[in-house]
């Protein structure tokens, strides 16, 4: 008789809900892209509905990015530990923080939002220096800051396009 053991891991609910962005991280294909796209779409419609000044929108977006980052670091650390995987693919809260960073100063026009989304996905995948090096930081900090750096690159690229277009 062959016996199999199943290991039951305790999961910290708030950390899993946060790190996977309400389960988006479990999408079978491209969960990071879906999390980024959801962030961009939600940001666009909330920003349009809020009718904020350009400055206030930028400040509120940066505040949201900081709040997501501060919640994401411990959540990603816990999920990484509980899943037993380093930088697990189902942790997508980092994409939310990075995408918010990429959107912080872009004009509130659909094509600018799409451009910021495309640039963010590009820099998040390619990981030019020092983005790749930031990945080496341990735990949730490493998971989060490389995407924020990619978001900064995306923001700068989008602003350059906006300036010259």
Residue 136 lies in a domain: yes
CA distance 100 to 120: 10
Could you tell me the residue range of the domain that residue 91 belongs to? Answer: 19-164
Q: Which residue pairs, CB below 8 angstroms and at least 24 apart, start in 65-68? A: 65/97, 65/100, 65/101, 65/104, 65/148, 65/151, 68/93, 68/96, 68/97, 68/100
The number of folded domains in the chain is 1
Residue 83 lies in a domain: yes
Average pLDDT for 18-30: 96
Residue 1 lies in a domain: no
Residue 71 lies in a domain: yes
pLDDT category of residue 1 using cuts at 50, 70 and 90? very low
Task: Quick: pLDDT tens for 89-135.
Answer: 999 999 999 999 999 999 999 999 999 999 999 999 999 998 888 87
Residue 54 lies in a domain: yes
Residue 53 lies in a domain: yes
Q: Residue 94, Cβ neighbours under 10 Å: how many?
A: 30
pLDDT category of residue 5 using cuts at 50, 70 and 90? very low
Q: Work out the percent of the chain whose per-residue pLDDT is above 70.
A: 95
């Amino acid at each position: 008789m062959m016996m199999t053991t199943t290991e039951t891991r305790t999961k910290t609910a708030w950390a899993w809900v946060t790190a996977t962005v309400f389960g988006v991280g479990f999408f079978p294909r491209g969960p990071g892209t879906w999390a980024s796209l959801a962030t961009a779409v939600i940001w666009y419609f909330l920003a349009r509905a809020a009718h904020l000044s350009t400055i206030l929108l930028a400040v509120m977006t940066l505040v949201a990015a900081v709040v997501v980052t501060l919640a994401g670091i411990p959540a990603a650390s816990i999920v990484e530990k509980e899943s037993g995987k380093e930088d697990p693919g189902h942790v997508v809260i980092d994409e939310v923080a990075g995408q918010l960073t990429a959107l912080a100063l872009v004009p509130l026009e659909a094509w600018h939002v799409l451009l910021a989304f495309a640039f963010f996905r590009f820099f998040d995948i390619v990981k030019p220096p020092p983005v790749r090096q930031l990945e080496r930081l341990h735990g949730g900090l490493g998971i989060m800051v490389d995407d924020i750096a990619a978001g900064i690159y995306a923001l700068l690229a989008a602003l350059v396009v906006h300036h010259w277009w």
